[in-house]
Amino acid sequence: MLSRVERLASGRVVELFIREAAGGVSVEVQEPLTGPEREEVSRKVWWMLGLGEDLSPFYTLAREEPKLAHVERQALGRMLRSPTVFEDLVKTLLTTNTTWNGTIRMVEALVSRFGDPLPTDPSRNAFPTPRQLAERSEEGLREIGLGYRAPFVTELARRVAEGELDLEGLKNSDRTTEEVRKILLSVKGIGDYAAATMLMLLGRYDYLPIDTWACKLVSREWYNGEPVGREEVEAAFEQWGRWKGLAYWFWDWALWEEGT
């Protein structure tokens, strides 16, 4: 089961309980919802779980690769996303130049300090809205540990809150991947790695999220541990075309076999 505290457009904060069900998923909320609220929850969960994605072309290719033989069998391929592109972009900003534990700490601080509390359990909060973060000072974000990322988050929140940047319009957009990537790169603090990560969360797998870990994986897989860079990582997955991001993400790496 997946549970999430979510702020609805009506301003209500509710907890969603998402479970696997026959033929799909079920979503439970403890409080009665209005018709528009139910529709909103349905849309958000549909997006979060990537239920509208057709992965059959990727599965067809994966069947021919032993390192991806497990993908279709385990029904892998969908990326767990936030309900909004804004939330995912903020979280992606908080993954840069830090450890995973550092990212978790920053996200938890952001949510607990600035998000609306769940009425039935005020110790839990929804992710802050663009408006809520835009109203906070850069110094206030530094105080909770965001460091150099603070001005990036405040500017992003302001641009979204004021309607200058329509991130939600990137969902299922008719724009080319290059056009979407250009928009993402216009956000201060977003570089090639973060843009590729966001593209994957948008269901576009044309780019690889290349970081030092990706280089380590490719080095061990194909280069006997010798140092490699971006060029070698790109070459390793070039044949996968628009599915290269998923092929990389679900590859059965040699390092896993070693228990690393």
Has residue 167 got a pLDDT over 70? yes
Extract the tokens encoding 162: 């004021």
Q: In the chain, what are the domain boundaries?
A: 2-52, 54-78+205-260, 85-201
- Encode burial over 181-201: b for 16+ CB neighbours within 10 A, e otherwise: bebbeebebbeebbbbbbbbb
- Residue 18 bridge partners (DSSP): 2, 27
Q: How many CA atoms lie within 13 A of 133 on its CB side?
A: 30
pTM for the model stands at 0.94
Q: Would you say 210 and 192 are in contact if contact means Cβ atoms under 8 Å apart? A: yes
- Residue 7 bridge partners (DSSP): 13
Q: Which residue has the higher pLDDT, 257 or 104?
A: 104
Average pLDDT over residues 228-236: 97
Extract the tokens encoding 170: 């990137």
End-to-end CA distance of the chain: 28
258 pLDDT tier (thresholds 50, 70, 90): low
Query: pLDDT tens digits, residue range 54-89?
Result: 999 999 999 999 999 999 999 999 999 999 999 999
219 pLDDT tier (thresholds 50, 70, 90): very high
The closest of 252, 250, 199 to 76, measured between CA atoms, is: 250
The closest of 81, 73, 51, 30 to 197, measured between CA atoms, is: 81
The residue to which tokens 């009665």 are assigned: 32
Cβ partners under 8 Å of residue 159, min gap 6: 165, 187
Q: How many CA atoms lie within 13 A of 91 on its CB side?
A: 20
Q: Output the pLDDT for position 260.
A: 54
Q: Output the pLDDT for position 23.
A: 81
85-201 topology per CATH: Endonuclease III; domain 1 (1.10.340)
256 pLDDT tier (thresholds 50, 70, 90): low
Q: Would you say 199 and 210 are in contact if contact means Cβ atoms under 8 Å apart? A: no
24 pLDDT tier (thresholds 50, 70, 90): confident
The residue to which tokens 């609805």 are assigned: 8
Has residue 257 got a pLDDT over 90? no
Question: What percentage of the chain reaches a pLDDT higher than 90?
Answer: 95
Distances (CA, A) of 199 to 9, 119, 176, 218, 222: 25, 34, 11, 21, 26
Distance between CA 71 and CA 100 in Å, rounded? 25
The residue to which tokens 């592109």 are assigned: 85
The residue to which tokens 């979503």 are assigned: 27
Distance between CA 225 and CA 231 in Å, rounded? 16
Angle (nearest 5°) at CA 65 between 62 and 66:
120
